[in-house]
Amino acid sequence: MAKEILIVGAGIIGLCSAYYLEKEGHKVTIIDKSNLSSGASYVNAGIITPSHIIPLAAPGVISKGIQWMLDSSSPFAIQPKLNTEFFRWLYLFKKAANAKKVATAIPILKDINLFSKELYEDLRTSKDFDFHFEKKGLLMYFKSERKGDQEWSIAQRAIQEGLQVTRLSSSEVKKIEPNAQLQVDGAIHYDCDAHSSPIEFMAKMKAYLQKKGVLFIEQTKAERFIKKGTKITGIETNEKCIQGDEIIVAGGAWTAQLIKTLGITIPIQPGKGYAIDTMQKTGITIPSILTEAKVAVTPMRGFTRFAGTMEIGGYNTKIKLTKINGMVNTSESYFKNLKLSHTEIKKAQSGFRPCSPDGLPYLGRLSEYNNVTVATGHAMMGWSLAPATGKLISELLMDKQTSLNLSPFNVERYR
Please write down the long-range contacts of 35-39, taking CB distance under 8 Å and 24 or more positions apart: 35/218, 35/219, 36/10, 36/202, 36/206, 36/216, 36/218, 38/349, 38/351, 39/11, 39/252, 39/351, 39/352
Confidence class of residue 67 from pLDDT cuts 50, 70 and 90?
Answer: low
Examine residue 415 and state whether it is found in any structural domain, yes or no: no
| CA distances, 254 to each of 23, 250, 251 (Å) | 27, 9, 5
- Mean pLDDT along residues 372-377: 98
- Alpha carbon distance 344, 122 (integer Å): 35
Look at 326 and 72; give whichever has higher pLDDT: 326
Given this model, what pLDDT does residue 74 score? 72
Examine residue 269 and state whether it is found in any structural domain, yes or no: yes
- Mean pLDDT along residues 294-316: 93
- Whether the pLDDT of residue 393 is over 60: the answer is yes
In order, the DSSP letters of 235-259 are EEESS-EEE-SEEEE--GGGHHHHH
DSSP state of 31: E
Contact 383, 194 (CB under 8 A): no
| CA distances, 50 to each of 20, 156, 195 (Å) | 22, 14, 11
Q: How big is the chain by its Cα radius of gyration, in Å?
A: 21
pLDDT mean across residues, the chain = 94
What are the residues whose beta carbons fall under 8 Å from the beta carbon of 146, sequence distance 6 or more? none
Q: Which amino acid is at 106?
A: I
DSSP state of 44: S
- Alpha carbon distance 44, 272 (integer Å): 11
Given this model, what pLDDT does residue 180 score? 97
- Whether the pLDDT of residue 391 is over 70: the answer is yes
Examine residue 414 and state whether it is found in any structural domain, yes or no: no
Q: Which residues pair with 306 in a beta bridge?
A: 276, 297
Percent of the chain with pLDDT over 90: 87
- How many domains does the chain contain in total? 1
- Mean pLDDT along residues 291-295: 93
Confidence class of residue 415 from pLDDT cuts 50, 70 and 90?
Answer: confident
Examine residue 272 and state whether it is found in any structural domain, yes or no: yes
For residue 94, the tally of other CB atoms under 10 A from its CB is 13
- Alpha carbon distance 128, 55 (integer Å): 33
Nearest-10 crossing angle of helices 84-96, 61-68: 130
> For the segment 335-370, what is each residue's pLDDT rounded down to a tens digit?
999 999 999 999 999 999 999 999 999 999 999 999
| CA distances, 139 to each of 75, 278, 329, 368, 401 (Å) | 19, 20, 20, 45, 36
Examine residue 371 and state whether it is found in any structural domain, yes or no: yes
Examine residue 273 and state whether it is found in any structural domain, yes or no: yes
Contact 246, 21 (CB under 8 A): no
> For the segment 181-235, what is each residue's pLDDT rounded down to a tens digit?
999 999 999 999 999 999 999 999 999 999 999 999 999 999 999 998 888 999 9
- Alpha carbon distance 76, 190 (integer Å): 23
Closest CA to 278 of 328, 318, 314: 328
Given this model, what pLDDT does residue 66 score? 57
- Mean pLDDT along residues 388-414: 97
Confidence class of residue 68 from pLDDT cuts 50, 70 and 90?
Answer: low
Given this model, what pLDDT does residue 1 score? 80
- Whether the pLDDT of residue 390 is over 90: the answer is yes
DSSP state of 205: H
- Alpha carbon distance 274, 309 (integer Å): 6
- Mean pLDDT along residues 394-399: 96
CATH value at residue 272: 3.50.50.60
Given this model, what pLDDT does residue 142 score? 98
- Alpha carbon distance 49, 385 (integer Å): 8
Contact 54, 161 (CB under 8 A): no
- Mean pLDDT along residues 12-17: 98
Examine residue 61 and state whether it is found in any structural domain, yes or no: yes
Q: Which residues pair with 362 in a beta bridge?
A: 376
Query: What's the chain's length in residues?
Result: 415
Examine residue 173 and state whether it is found in any structural domain, yes or no: yes
DSSP state of 271: E
Domain of residue 192, residue span? 4-409
- Whether the pLDDT of residue 385 is over 60: the answer is yes
- Whether the pLDDT of residue 69 is over 60: the answer is no
DSSP state of 39: S
